[in-house]
Each structure stands twice: as structure tokens, then as C-alpha cells.
Amino acid sequence: MKRDDFSWMIGGAQGSGVDSSAIIFAKAAATGGLCVFGNREYYSNIKGEHSYFRVRVSKDLIRSHVDTVDMLATFEEETIFRHALEVRSEGAIIYDPDQDTKRLDQVPTIEAQVRDALNAEFIKNGLSPDVKGILELARRRGVHIYPIPYDDLLKTTGSKFGETSLSALQRMLNVMAVAASFALVSYDEELVKEAVKKQFSKKPKAAEMNAEAVGQAYKFIGEKYAGSFAHKLSPVKAEGVRLFVRGNSMVAMAKELAGCRFQTYYPITPASDESEYLEAHAEMDMDGSPTQENPQVAEVAAMKTRGSITVVQSEDEIAAVTMAIGGGLAGVRSATSTSGPGFSLMAEGMGYAGMNEVPVVVTLYSRGGPSTGLPTRHEQGDLRFALHAGHGEFPRLVLASGDLEEAFYDTVRAFNYSEKYQTVVIHLVDKALANSDATLPMLDVNKVKIDRGLFVREITDAVDGQFERFKHTPNGISPRPPVGTKGGVYWHTGDEHDELGHISEDPTNRDYMMEKRMGKIDLADKEIPLEDRVNFFGPENADITVVSWGSTKGAILDAMDWLKKDGISVNFLQVRLVNPFPTEYVTELLSKAKKIVGVEMNFSGQLIGIVRERTCIPVEQLVVKYNGRPMSSEEIYDALKMIHEGKAPKKLVLKRGA
Amino acid sequence: MALKFSDLKTTAHNDWCPGCGDFGILNAAHMALAEMNVDPSNTVVVSGVGCSGKAPHFTKTYGVHTLHGRSLPFATGIKLANPNLEVVVEGGDGDGMGIGAGHFVNSGRRNVDMLYIIHDNEVYGLTKGQAAPTMGLGMKTKSLTAPNINQGINPIMLAIASGYTWVARGYAYDVRHLKDLIIKGIRHKGFAFLDVLQPCPTYNDIQSKEYWAGEGNLDASGKPQPRTYKLEDTGYDGVVHTQDEAEMESKVQKAVLKSFEFGDHTPIGVFYQNEFIPTYEERLAGRSPSYKTNPPAAQEIARPDGTPTTNISKLLEELRVS
């Protein structure tokens, strides 16, 4: 398999600007019409531990990261030690020659396992355990090494602005590394300068100085290394309006569009970025103008033009979910956003929402568990828990998004389902999605429809001032005026209750109420169209049928493209609505499949278990990963190839990623 | 049409034990709501779990009987989503100071404009009389197999330390006085906390109705002396009258000192009141000016054809690269 895209990596200590430099790189590439996919890996730490950012760019559509690095941009020694051997033959490493003598044992943040493995390499190859040694090892593997005298270039840059403080100049190190990278692949210098200026748009002097740093890097590379690196990167003409989005803001934007006006959260990685985005964009435009289809001017003119979302940082996740349910009781689209440990605390609250038929959306950013687990790393270990969290039985819908675009539209669906079926909806996203960045075609807000189900704003049929909130209806859904509606009152309770909402332990009433609530899942199963529940990719008949869910989607699709070129046909069933499960469709599809392969980022193959439970079809071949690093398209490609050749164990565990 | 006391009765069967202090609290609450002539459909009574948790079912306003310990966050969500509602929260001492203690403390920090009434009987009634967080160390009610091994919480002091801006205590069988306190608490701008001494005739044989009436608490002439007295009768003034920080500090100190009086000489009435602390709703409006005029529950999020009214084009424009 040969890639014709470009995989770039930058690393450094957390808090040293790795993130912003990667964003500059990604935006410069995106502005040049290229397709970009980036992802970030970091420790549960504020400052000092190693973090790195991969940005993959291509003129064609890409949806995932790869493990091999075409170019590694560094400005300190730890990144060199950790990632130099990930660079492919004919790839490049950019580094500061002042680091040459830095020794491996002087880097306290490198774990003993990593250090021992590297030391073994040094001994085996007869090299000194320092930067020079590791770069020599890379050179022997065919990697081009590019020393860049950062300090000299920074001083030259500073002299043009009268800036002599070295610490001030060193804030431009990242940009220098980005610019040197682009210069080596002969990318348009102006696009890089533009991206830098945009990044520093609020600090004009810094913007100018960083743009000058870009110029200096280009000048140096042009004079010293012109034409030495074979890979070239050129802008292309992109079609249509494109966006460059950060994963953690996608769900937030969609929540605003969906009309979510109350969000609660307790700080947790990686979920709280979403709530912080909402806090920062709490005030929003609300458009009162009539639509083409609906020119009821008077009605819409009354709509207010400014709205806001109320975001509350609560004392814990129990408060977060129960406050959100309170918002739902008051008739407001409400949500909370969390990760595994917080979700565990929400179990009882979700049961209350189920029992009381309150719409509420819980956005669950799954991360490495159990317990505190791997708080900043990726895993899809919460699917079973999302399906079953809480005591007793209550209806819930569980949907899982596969990429950022899906996460956007699924967010709106989550609110629609929660109001239509008057219950809790768990929207599963994950760390890999939250910390990925990608170019996307313009989002189509015209595709978005809001369906509030039987939400009503008045009570006209109260008897003696009392309204039957849980009224018997043929399909189990009762009209839902919020608390505070004029014309009557009703009650809510976590106890079993009658139609008014008063406590009732009557067995006949209990039967009815259980059937009313649980029947809503059957109703959702009948009503929600298949295209909103599954995606199917590839030929109808294929050698391999992959079954997966969530953020493995992009890597699977990219791997399928390569496998197709190798003559291996693969199709892919992505389950998006896990409850109610699309049993009939999946049964029919899988009963025709030649070889079914379950691909999941967890230990046990949770979806595959659900598939067996629902369809009675066993999936014998599993590809799983639980080391906290998302699956790359390369390793899925290799895995499926191994399976195709009959060389894979029944449970193939993927291990890559630093 | 004026709201009558009897308008607040519901058809739900009241299954509290005969002689339960909850009846006094319920009656006082109904008297207060009737006197204030509230709109029942604009009023929400939120409760936790336990005997007191059933109070909403006996009150003909909107009622939300929530989970054990969680009445405050539920109520906070309701009130912030629709700040025009009148929200009264009720719960037991175990509900509020045991399982819900975290919410109790943090609700004080928020100062949402609501009233929280704790039915304080020192036992967990519905689970047959275990010691609740307000019961003192070494106390042994007939329901306990051994004297209480934990120290009791001082709810008044905890409320003041947590930031409640109106802190009072009432007695379940001084219904008129309690009614006045409930009215004051509802009218208070900010989060009001009302601790109500509530005899549990079934499990707490120590702090009984007779105990509070003065049984065994005899004066020099051998006459039983009630164990509660009214703060206002002693000239006590816990109200912060000016924005002066020194005054606030001294009122807090006075109230905290007062809160240590308990037992034979137990104060009821308003310990502390401060309306100079901004409510959470005001703080939200400071962040989002439209919160006040167009709060969450008032916003029309969709047109009749289902298209969203929210315009996110500015957000999308920020992300545009080509």
C-alpha cells in the first residue's frame, strides 16, 4: 500500500504551543484547498508532559490518521527521542542542532519502558544514547535530517522589530518549525503567512513578527536545502465552501442550532471543551424572518432576535443530570455533557428521566476506563454501559456518531428523539472525535428540522384543575405541557405513578405504565428511518464485512480504499442507532456476509456482543484495541489484510500509537 | 379570584402518620400560598425522597417529587430554565444534609431565587427511624439500637457558611409563625433556607411535640417552659440593612453564634437576611443580557415548519477556509 498524502507531526511539552502550531499548519493547508485530518495526543497533565499533534493532508478525501510520519517537526529533544523512529524511509526530521548532545537519561518525562526500549536500540546499533544517536539511527533507516539553527533565525527575525529578548523570540519557535516544514515541501509561502497572521489577528505586532519568522525559515531552507526533499505539497482548487472544524465545538454548535437552551456540566476531560464553547458563545442570533415555505409573517415576526443558552457548571455530575432534567421539565431543550466517570454518577438521574418521560440529552464523550482510566486517551468502552446504566428498566435511545459531520446532525436528532419519545437520549461521541480537527464541506443547516413531538404550550382539558400528564394514549406518548403551563397542574414522581403523576402501587396501573414507557422503544424502532440508524459502505457482496460503530469509521473507510486497490473487497456496516437496534436490517445483511469482522476500540467487542444478542449471528473475528490510541487506517488495512490471508488470530489486538 | 386554603388540597391520599409534624408544615405552606394568592399553575413544589418528599402530592400546584437528595439541582434546573416560576423546595434533613449535602452547600453559592424548607426531625422516618445528620452525638431514640455515633450538623450555621442569603428556623406546630416565615422566604430575593423542627411521633420519642411544648423543662415555679422562643421577641435583628461589609460580617457572626443555642432554649425566626448578594439569575443576565428578557423557556426555537430559528452562520463563518 502506498500513500500519496502527507503525514506531518509536531511535538513538544504540554503548554509550549504545540496545539496552536499544528492548527496553523492545518489551516495553511486547508486554505490551500487541501483536505486535512488532525488529531492530538496528550497526557493528563497541565504543563511539561509530552504532547504531539498529527496533521495529515491530501488533495483527496482523507478521514483518518496514519502511523507512519512523513515529516517530524521538532524543537526540543523529547519529541525526537519519542517519534524519530516513526518517520518512514525517505521522510524528514526537522530539528535544532543545539539539541545534539542532549541525552536520553536527561529527559525525566519519558517513561522507563520507552527509555529501556530506546537504550536497547542504542546498544544494538552501537550508538550514543543522545539526540545525535537517535538521529543517526533514523538516518540509517533512510530518513533525511534537517538541522535548523532556530536561534540564529529568530535573532534575525527579532532584529527587524527591535526584539532582542531570547525568551520572547522563542515563542516563535513553533511557527518557525511549521514554516520550515512547509518550505521543505515547497508549499506556497503566502498561504503560511496568511495562516500565521490569522492566528495572531488580535496581536498585530506578534502577527507581523511571526510572518517574518515564516519568511526567514523559507529563506534559510531555500538557500540551504532547496529541492532536497522529494515530497511536494501544492495548493489545489477546492470545490465549494469548506470549513476547518475542531471536534470539541461540533456538538456545541449543533446544540445551539437544535435549540438547546440549558446545558449543565461538571469539568471532565474530554467533554468540558464543549460546554466551554457554549459558555463562550452563550448569546446567539435568533432569526425571526419567515421561511419560503412558511411565510406566516405575523407569527414569526414576534419571535425574538436574541437568545442565549444557560450553561451551569454544577457541583458534580449528579447535579448536572438532575438540573438538566429540571430544564426539560420546564419545557426547555436541555442537555449535559460528560465522560465515563461522570456518566457513572448520572445513572440514577437518567432513570428518573425515563420514569417521568422527561426529554434530556446526555452527550457522552467516551475515554479510557474503567475508574479514572486513561483520562486523556481514547476508548469505546462505554457502549454496554450506555445501554444499561441505571436500575430497573426504562426506555432510552442510544446513538453513536462516526465522524464530526455526523456528530453535528446526530446532535439535532438526539434532541428530536428526546422530545418525540419523551425520554433520555444518550449521544455517544468520544475522545478521538473531540480531539480531531478536519476539513468538511459547508454544513447544511437547511437539512436540519426540529421536531418537538407532543410538546404543547397550553392545557385545555384539565379536570378540576388537574391535567393527566401520563394519559393513556394508543401509542404511549402523552401530550407534554411543561411545568408552569396555565390551565391546570400535574405531578411528577420517581415512584410509579398514575396518569396525574401521583404515586400508585396498583398492579394494573403498574402494568400499564411499564408498557406505556417501554413501548416507546418499539415505536421509535418503527418510526426512525433506516438511513438515520445505519450506514452501509462498499459493494453489496464482499470478501469481508466489517461491523463497527463510532469514530473508527474514518479509518475503516480509508483502509477500504487501499484494500480495493489490492483487489480485496470489503463492505462496512456502521451502526449509528444502537438502541433501538436495527435488528431486522442487520440480521438480513449479516446472514449474507461471507466473513464478518467486528472492529472496536474496546477489549471485549461490545457491539459484536449486542449483534449476537439481537440477531443470533455470532461474529467470530474481532479486531480490537484498548491501548488508548485511536485506530489508524494503516493498522486497520494491515489487520483486514491479515484476516483475508487467514493469518489473524480470532481476536486481533492492535497495538500502535505513542 | 383569590386563592383559598382549601383550593390547595388534592385528591391524593395523605399517608403520613397521625400526629406527624409534616401536617403542620403542609398547612403552613398552604396558608402561605393562599395568603400570597399565588397562581398554582405558576408555582412548582419540588421535593426529595422520604415522608416530606410526598408533600407535593398533597399540594395542588405543579409538583415534582424527585430523587433522594437531589431536590435542589432539579429545582435549580426548573427555575433557571423558567425564572418566572415560583419554586419552593421541600425535603427531609437526611435528604438535604446527608445524601444531598453537596447540593445543599453549592446551592448556597449560587443563590438562585427559591425557598428551601427542610423538615428536620433528626431521623430517617420512611426507612424506620435511623439517625439523620441533624441528630446529636449520643442521642438514642426508641428506633435506634445504640446511641447515635455521629455528631449532629448545625443546619443554620452550615447554611450561612454556604452563602444562603436568608436563613430561618420554624417549628411545625407553630403554624401561624411558620406560615409567616414561608411567606418571607418566598418573597426574599435570593436563596432562602428554612429549617423546620418537626416532631416524628413514630420514631423520635425524644424531640416530641410535648418536648418542644416544654415537658420536663420546668421554671422555678415548676411550670413547663416551651423549648422554642421567637427571635423577634428578643429584639434580635439578623437583617443586613446596608451594603456595608462590616455590617454583613457582624450579622453573619451574630447569626452563627445564635445557631449554637439549641435544646431547652431554641430560637425560631429569621437568623440572617441579606438581599445585597446578586441572585444567580442576575449573574446570568450579566453574562447573557438576553437571559432576562428572553429566558430559555420563552425562546421559540423552531418555526411552525420545524426550521430552526437559531442562526449559526456567524459561527460557521469563523470556521470557513475556502
Q: Cβ B60–A466 below 8 Å, yes or no?
A: yes
Q: 3-class SS at A656?
A: coil
CB distance B53 to B91 below 8 Å:
yes
Percentage of chain B modeled with pLDDT above 70: 100
Q: Do B41 and A493 touch (CB under 8 A)?
A: no
- Spatial distance between the Cα atoms of A163 and A206, rounded to a whole number of angstroms: 11
Q: Identify any residues that bridge with A53 across adjacent strands, giving them in sequence order.
A: A10, A40
| Per-residue confidence band for A297, with pLDDT thresholds at 50, 70 and 90 | low
Size of interface A-B (CB pairs under 8 A): 280
| DSSP strands (E only) in A401-445 | 424-430, 436-441
CB distance A24 to A195 below 8 Å: yes
Question: Between chains, do A489 and B61 touch, taking CB under 8 Å as contact?
Answer: yes
For residue A293, what is the nearest residue in chain B, using CA coordinates?
Answer: B305
Do A38 and A436 touch, CB atoms closer than 8 A?
yes
Domain-by-domain residue ranges, chain B?
A: 5-283
Report d(CA A144, CA A135) in Å as an integer: 9
Q: Which residues contact A38 (CB under 8 A, 6 or more apart)?
A: A22, A23, A26, A53, A54, A55, A56, A65, A436, A437, A438
* Residue-wise pLDDT tens digits, A432-463: 999 999 999 999 999 999 999 999 999 999 99
According to the model, what pLDDT value does residue A288 have? 63
What is the per-residue pLDDT across A459-507, written as a single tens digit (0 to 9) for each? 999 999 999 999 999 999 999 999 999 999 999 999 999 999 999 999 9
Residues 6+ apart with CB under 8 A from B135: B122, B123, B141, B148, B150, B152
Residues of A in contact with B105 (CB under 8 A): 315
State the architecture of B5-283 in CATH terms: 3-Layer(aba) Sandwich (3.40)
Q: What angle do CA A187, A190, A192 make, to 5 degrees?
A: 65
**DSSP 8-state code for residue A39:** E
Nearest CA in chain B to A279: B287
- In chain B, the residue whose alpha carbon lies closest to the alpha carbon of A245 is B319
**Contact (Cβ atoms closer than 8 angstroms) between residue B82 and residue A331:** yes
Please say if the pLDDT value at position B232 is more than 90: yes
| Residues of B whose CB is below 8 A from A442 | 316, 320
Residues of A in contact with B300 (CB under 8 A): 286, 303-304
Nearest-by-Cβ selection for A326 from B40, B77, B284: B77
Q: Which of B164, B171, B271, B269 is nearest to B214 (CA)?
A: B171
Q: Which pLDDT score, from 0 to 100, does residue A4 have?
A: 87
Q: Give the orientation angle of helix A173-184 with respect to helix A18-31, to 10 degrees.
A: 40
Residue of A nearest to B53 (CA): A493
Residues of B in contact with A59 (CB under 8 A): none
- Residue range A6-225 forms a domain whose CATH class is alpha beta
- Residues A608 and A546: their CA atoms lie apart, in Å, by 11
Q: Which of A173, A14, A200 is nearest to A95 (CA)?
A: A173
> Rounded to the nearest 5°, which phi and psi values hold at B88?
-120, 130
B interface mutation test: which of A292, A313, A315, A456 has the most B CBs within 10 A? Answer: A315
**Which candidate from B41, B63, B74 shows the least CB-CB separation from A486?**
B41
Which fold is adopted by the domain A532-653?
A: Rossmann fold (3.40.50)
| H or E stretch covering A120 | helix A112-125
Q: Which residues in B lie closer than 8 A to residue A242 (C-beta atoms)? A: 320-322
pLDDT of residue A290: 47
Taking the CA of residue B245 and the nearest CA in chain A, the distance in Å comes to 27
Question: For residue B24, what is its C-alpha cell?
Answer: 403542620
Cα separations in angstroms, A21 against A11, A31, A54, A129, A200? 10, 15, 11, 29, 11
Q: What is the pLDDT confidence band of residue B1, given thresholds at 50, 70 and 90?
A: confident
Beta-strand relationship, A87-95 and A35-41: unpaired
Tell me which chain B residue has its CA closest to the CA of residue A468: B62
Pairing of strands A651-653, A534-537: unpaired
CB A87 within 8 A of CB A27: no
The DSSP code sequence of A492-508 is EESS-B-TTS-B---HH
Contacts of A281 in chain B (CB under 8 A): 315
Q: What pLDDT, on the 0 to 100 scale, is given for residue A296?
A: 53
| Domain A244-447 CATH class label | alpha beta
SS3 per-residue string spanning A148-193: CCHHHHHHHHHHCCCCCCHHHHHHHHHHHHHHHHHHHCCCCHHHHH
SS (H, E, C) chain B: CCCCHHHHCCCCCCCCCCCCHHHHHHHHHHHHHHHHCCCHHHEEEEECCCCHHHHHHHCCCEEEECCCCCHHHHHHHHHHHCCCCEEEEEEEHHHHHHHCHHHHHHHHHHCCCCEEEEEECCEECCCCCEECCCCCCCCCCCCCCCCCCCCCCCHHHHHHHHCCCEEEEEECCCHHHHHHHHHHHHHCCCCEEEEEECCCCCCCCCCCHHHHHCCCCECCCCCECCCEEEHHHHCCCCECCCCCHHHHHHHHHHHHHHHCCCCCCEEEEEEEECCCCCCHHHHHHHHCCHHHHCCHHHCCCECCCCCECEECHHHHHHHECC
Contact B73, B103 (CB under 8 A): yes
- Tell me the per-residue pLDDT of B31-75, one tens digit each, with 9 for 90 and over: 999 999 999 999 999 999 999 999 999 999 999 999 999 999 999
pLDDT, tens digit, 9 for 90 and up, residues B5-41: 999 999 999 999 999 999 999 999 999 999 999 999 9
Q: Is the dihedral of CA A470, A471, A475, A478 positive or negative?
A: negative
- Chain A residues closer than 8 Å to B307 by CB: 291, 293-294, 446, 448-450
| ipTM for the complex shown | 0.98
Residues 6+ apart with CB under 8 A from B176: B28, B31
**C-beta of residue A25 within 8 angstroms of C-beta of residue A8:** yes
Residue A291: which pLDDT band, with cuts at 50, 70 and 90? very low
Cell of A147: 538541522
Cβ of B306 within 8 Å of Cβ of A501? The answer is: no
Q: pLDDT at residue A301 above 90?
A: no
Q: What residues of B are in contact with residue A310 (Cβ under 8 Å)?
A: 80-81, 284, 288, 291, 295-296
Q: How many helices (H) and strands (E) does chain B have?
A: 11, 11
Query: Is the Cβ pair B299, A443 closer than 8 Å?
Result: no
Cβ partners under 8 Å of residue A656, min gap 6: A67, A629, A632, A634, A635
Instruction: Return mean pLDDT, chain B.
Output: 97
Predicted confidence (pLDDT) per residue in B85-132, tens digit: 999 999 999 999 999 999 999 999 999 999 999 999 999 999 999 999
Peptide bond into B56 cis (omega under 30): no
Give the per-residue pLDDT at B257.
98
What separation, in Å, do the N-terminal and C-terminal C-alpha atoms of chain B show?
63
Please report where in the chains the cell 426548573 appears, as a residue: B78
Q: Measured between CB atoms, which of A243, A323, A484 is closest to B73? A: A323
Question: All 3 cell numbers of residue B150?
Answer: 455521629
φ, ψ at A508 (rounded to 5°): -70, -45
The whole-number pLDDT of residue A494 equals 98
**Is B296's CB within 8 Å of A327's CB?**
yes
Residues from chain A that touch B313, judged by Cβ atoms under 8 A, are 285, 445
Report chain B residues whose CB lies below 8 A from the CB of A336: none
Does the distance separating the beta carbons of B106 and A319 come in below 8 Å?
yes
Tell me which residue has cell 434530556: A360
Nearest partner of A330 among A127, A550, A482, judged by Cα: A482
In this prediction the pTM is 0.97
Measure CB to CB from residue B291 to each of A258, A293, A310 and give the nearest one: A310
**Cβ–Cβ below 8 Å for A450 and B304:** no
Grid coordinates standing for A478?
A: 402523552
CB contact under 8 A, B294 and A304: yes
Residue type, A442: M
Query: What residues does A244 pair with on adjacent strands?
Result: A439
pLDDT at position A306: 87
pLDDT the model gives residue A298:
52
Question: One-letter amino acid identity for B64?
Answer: V
Task: Decide whether A6-225 matches A532-653 in CATH topology.
Answer: no
pLDDT per position as a tens digit, A579-607: 999 999 999 999 999 999 999 999 999 99
Whether B288 and A466 lie within 8 Å, measured CB to CB: no
- Give the DSSP H/E element, type plus range, for residue B311: strand B310-311
Pairing relationship of beta strands B62-65 and B166-171 according to DSSP bridges? unpaired
Contact B67 A238 (CB under 8 A): no
**Coil, helix or strand at residue A483:** coil
Rounded CA-CA distance A160/A180 in Å is 19
- For residues A320 and A338, the answer to whether their CB atoms sit within 8 Å is yes
Report the chain B residue with the minimal C-alpha distance to residue A244.
Answer: B319
Set of chain A residues whose Cβ sits within 8 Å of the Cβ of B12: 502-503
Which residues of chain B does A323 touch, with a Cβ-Cβ cutoff of 8 Å? 73-74, 76-77, 80
Asked whether the beta carbons of residue A450 and residue B306 sit closer than 8 angstroms, the reply is yes
Q: Where are the domains of chain A?
A: 6-225, 244-447, 532-653
Tell me the shortest Cα–Cα distance from B99 to chain A, in angstroms. 11
CA distance A113 to A464: 73
- The pLDDT tens digits of the residues spanning A521-574 come to 999 999 999 999 999 999 999 999 999 999 999 999 999 999 999 999 999 999
**Between vectors from CA A221 to CA A219 and to CA A225, what angle results, nearest 5°?**
140
